[in-house]
Amino acid sequence: MELIHVTIAAELHIAGYVAPGFERVRAEFERNLVERDELGAAFSVHLGDQPLVDLWGGVADAGTAARWERDTLQTIFSGSKGITVTALLRLVDRGDLDLDRPVAFYWPEFAAAGKSRITVREVVTFTGRLPGLWAPVSQHQANDPVEMARLIAAQEPESDDRAQGILYGPFTAGWIMGELVRRVDGRPLDRFFQAELARPLDLDIHFGTGPELWPRLARTSYGTNFLAQFTGFFHSGDPLTQRIWQNPQPFPDDEGVWATPERRAALIPAINVSGTARAFAKLYGILAADAVRSPDEPPLLLSRRTLDDARRVHARKTDQLIDVVMAYGGGGYRLRTAERPGPDGETFGHDGGGGSANQAWPRVGLGVSYVMNRLIALGPDDKRAGSLLKALAADVADLGLPTAPRS
């Protein structure tokens, strides 16, 4: 691999390495920092559990001008859902949890108020009519997963016609999955993940971070117009929108909330996972390899049977509140809305608000992660992840990496 250490300006550096043939990726990473309003970021690509690209650069904390280092951690917001789903699927793979059983089979209190027939699969695919909370919840209260689970168990499902099919919500699916892990395994989600996935696979990924990790945690900042894109949701008078997008607001008006000790440490399964791009890419590289290996071959993490089900399209629909077509596999991974030719044509994982991307590319066995600390409005203002992923697909195509049969 080519070792990189480049200082573009006094306050701007890039470090890491790329395997031969991935020069487009390196060039786009540099362009992000120079031309596309990047503050600090990392991009990593793994073939199975082996690194091909590992780049980092820029500033981890705009207030102190601390550099983004090799071991800098970044919160991935809704990218956390893909990590939470992976933990849940570990229980499915062991036979301890069945996606098609009612949630109440494992959590009896959940049956209250007409929810006795809602299945685990409906929860993880956002088709269970539980996108938000009815009881008012503050940012402080959202840090308590046990209390949030209690509130969800007591409330009724949505009856609004807009809840038909997929109705995405930023928080509730994560709290339900976390409580299911606790009910089935006996350990809270953060401890389960560390014991069952992070330590065995050597993954620098955390559900909430303790004080010992805070010196490594990048500080989140909002780019121009980032909050403005949510005005129609965060200030709506529509009761359904209020329950989903204002209770609490997933991106608080004050970006400093993300740097408070209680938020850094909080177990909020759907939005508060932090890690290095290297670790996320390694995890998704393992999943990409497991997804196409022979069914009778022992997996590194999840069986072919479980992953076939988890990434087979279960729901594809335009969310009637956010007006975006969404597709979810049967196990809760977010999918492309339509397959396409090329190495990235069947990706699965979950993106995160503000621009992050964490994906498995099973056709070529790659795990891919882009993380950053400046959140930019979705759309033409943010070309950072898109430029990297397009460059990666082009480099992979030119290299002719072996392609798995299409599933």
9 has pLDDT over 60: no
Token pair, residue 397, equals: 């195509």
- Range with the lowest mean pLDDT among 210-214, 307-311, 339-343? 339-343
Q: CA torsion 351→140→114→86, rounded to 10°?
A: 30
pLDDT grade for 407, boundaries at 50, 70 and 90: low
Give the per-residue pLDDT at 260.
Answer: 98
Give the per-residue pLDDT at 401.
Answer: 80
Give the per-residue pLDDT at 403.
Answer: 72
pLDDT grade for 11, boundaries at 50, 70 and 90: low
Counting residues of the chain whose pLDDT is more than 70, the rounded percentage is 96
Burial class (CB in 10 A: 0-12, 13-18, 19+), 62: middle
Q: Contact 176/149 with Cβ under 8 angstroms?
A: yes
274 has pLDDT over 80: yes
In the predicted model, what is the mean pLDDT of residues 315-339?
95
Give the per-residue pLDDT at 18.
Answer: 93
- Range with the lowest mean pLDDT among 45-49, 228-232, 306-310? 45-49
pLDDT grade for 360, boundaries at 50, 70 and 90: very high
Sequential DSSP letters for 186-239: SS-HHHHHIIIIIHHHT--EEES--GGGGGGBPPPEEPTTTGGGGHHHHT---H
Give the per-residue pLDDT at 398.
Answer: 93
Give the per-residue pLDDT at 380.
Answer: 80
- Alpha carbon 157 to chain centroid, angstroms: 25
Q: Which amino acid is at 290?
A: D
Residue 50 phi/psi, 5° resolution? -110, 135
Give the per-residue pLDDT at 123.
Answer: 98
Give the per-residue pLDDT at 406.
Answer: 52
Q: Contact 78/126 with Cβ under 8 angstroms?
A: no
Mean pLDDT of the chain: 95
326 has pLDDT over 70: yes
In the predicted model, what is the mean pLDDT of residues 342-361?
96
CA-angle at 59, arms to 53 and 60, nearest 5° = 85
236 has pLDDT over 80: yes
- Range with the lowest mean pLDDT among 108-122, 126-140, 338-352? 338-352
Global pTM value: 0.96
pLDDT grade for 147, boundaries at 50, 70 and 90: very high
With CA atoms as reference, report the closest residue to 216 among 76, 66, 354: 66
In the predicted model, what is the mean pLDDT of residues 268-284?
98
What b/e string do you get for 63-97 counting C-beta neighbours within 10 Å, with b at 16 or more? eeeebbbeebbbbbbbbbbbbbbbbbbbbbbeeeb
3 has pLDDT over 90: no
In the predicted model, what is the mean pLDDT of residues 294-319?
96
pLDDT grade for 64, boundaries at 50, 70 and 90: very high
With CA atoms as reference, report the closest residue to 334 among 42, 85, 48: 85
pLDDT, greater one: 227 or 6: 227
In the predicted model, what is the mean pLDDT of residues 40-57?
94
| 377-397 pLDDT per residue, tens | 988 879 999 999 999 999 999
With CA atoms as reference, report the closest residue to 251 among 277, 278, 221, 289: 221
Token pair, residue 104, equals: 């109440």
Q: 276: phi > 0 → left, psi -120 to 50 → alpha, else beta; which?
A: beta
pLDDT grade for 8, boundaries at 50, 70 and 90: low
Q: Contact 363/406 with Cβ under 8 angstroms?
A: yes
Q: Contact 101/117 with Cβ under 8 angstroms?
A: no
The position carrying tokens 């990434």 is 311
Token pair, residue 214, equals: 């805070």
Provide the greatest CA pair distance for the chain: 60
Give the per-residue pLDDT at 5.
Answer: 55
Q: Which amino acid is at 376?
A: I
Give the per-residue pLDDT at 329.
Answer: 98
Q: How many CA atoms lie within 13 A of 348 on its CB side?
A: 32
